[in-house]
């Protein structure tokens, strides 16, 4: 069997925000439709881990969702550009991922669930977006460029690879590497083991996800407040001093409006070794935030193991 090596350029392809924004906005809504089905049918798991998607060798999946005495899963295929619904009784339905309005995708997807005997009603108002249009009324977002979708997904694979290395040294509670369809980011979160100070949140779901001190590391494809894809990190609650801390790589900075550390994707992919530059960013920003917040870093994180593969 041939040993096919992926080049750095293939692993970290260009993803200009302006060129793929229409597709991004449409795909974001499609994932929210599927994600809200999982939200309705799965029991709550701390910090909403029950609603997230995980990456696969062809795209991403909801993983198993209970439906009475059966289970099903929904798979996005970003190579062949199909969405498939597989039920544990052997039945299945699929639909092509092609340019179409969100309203049309919503009707077809929900009709497939109904035909498979999966009974579910969702709140059709999008979350974590400004001026969201209800899914059944959204004829505005109707783009799908398979080239850019595939590039975005390949970037997520690279981010996941780096985040798994980042997770390796942490001995406290940490999340899996998860895709959050609400904010459309891939991330992992570390926890200090202490409760966060109480504060008022505008919604219950926000309050439930912010009960513990935490430090996030992940990747975000951008939106109207950050017009480029970027690697992101933050510590919550935000400790005093993190906004002025010395960062590396040199391209990293603190974004005051987002209240997050940012490493622009384009600057990272230009590095001699993008994986190492990204990993350095995650480790440095965690060190800054956790130290300033008074986490017991020595107890939570062992020295970084050797990252080189075994001989």
Pair 64, 83: CB distance under 8 Å? no
Mean pLDDT of 117-129: 95
Dihedral-angle region of residue 258 (phi above 0 means left; psi in -120 to 50 means alpha; beta otherwise):
alpha
pLDDT digits (tens, 9 = 90+) for 220-267: 999 988 999 999 999 999 999 999 999 988 999 999 999 999 999 999
Mean pLDDT of 86-105: 98
d(CA 239, CA 234): 10
**Band of pLDDT at residue 196, cut at 50, 70 and 90:** confident
pLDDT digits (tens, 9 = 90+) for 161-178: 999 999 999 999 999 999
pLDDT value, residue 306? 54
How high does pLDDT run on average in the chain?
Answer: 92
pLDDT digits (tens, 9 = 90+) for 58-84: 999 999 999 999 999 999 999 999 999
225, two tokens: 């407040």
For the cut 70, the answer to whether the pLDDT of residue 305 exceeds it is: no
For the cut 80, the answer to whether the pLDDT of residue 104 exceeds it is: yes
Q: What does pTM read for this prediction?
A: 0.93
């Amino acid at each position: 069997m041939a040993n096919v090596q992926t080049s750095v350029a293939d692993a970290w392809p260009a993803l200009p925000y302006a060129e793929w924004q229409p597709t991004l906005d449409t795909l974001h809504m499609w994932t929210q439709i599927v994600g809200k089905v999982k939200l309705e049918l799965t029991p709550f798991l701390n910090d909403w881990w029950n609603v997230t998607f995980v990456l696969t060798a062809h795209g991403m999946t909801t993983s198993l969702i209970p439906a009475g005495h059966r289970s099903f899963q929904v798979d996005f295929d970003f190579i062949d550009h199909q969405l498939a619904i597989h039920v544990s009784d052997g039945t299945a339905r699929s639909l092509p991922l092609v340019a179409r309005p969100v309203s049309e995708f919503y009707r077809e997807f929900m009709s497939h669930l109904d035909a498979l005997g999966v009974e579910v009603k969702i709140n059709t108002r999008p979350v974590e977006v400004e001026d969201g249009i209800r899914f059944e009324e959204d004829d505005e977002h109707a783009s799908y460029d398979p080239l850019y979708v595939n590039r975005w997904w390949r970037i997520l694979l690279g981010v996941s690879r780096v985040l798994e290395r980042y997770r390796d040294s942490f001995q406290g509670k940490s999340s899996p590497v998860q895709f959050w369809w609400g904010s459309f980011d891939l991330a992992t979160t570390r926890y200090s083991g202490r409760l966060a100070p109480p504060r008022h949140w505008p919604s219950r779901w926000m309050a439930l996800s912010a009960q513990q001190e935490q430090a996030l590391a992940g990747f975000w494809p951008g939106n109207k407040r950050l017009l480029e894809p970027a690697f992101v990190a933050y510590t919550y609650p935000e400790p005093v001093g993190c906004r002025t801390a010395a960062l590396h790589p040199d391209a990293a900075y603190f974004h005051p409006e987002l209240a997050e550390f940012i490493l622009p994707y384009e600057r990272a992919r230009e590095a001699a070794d993008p994986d190492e530059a990204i990993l350095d960013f995650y480790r440095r920003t965690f060190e800054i935030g956790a130290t300033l917040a008074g986490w017991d870093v020595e107890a939570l994180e062992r020295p970084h193991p050797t990252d080189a593969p075994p001989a």
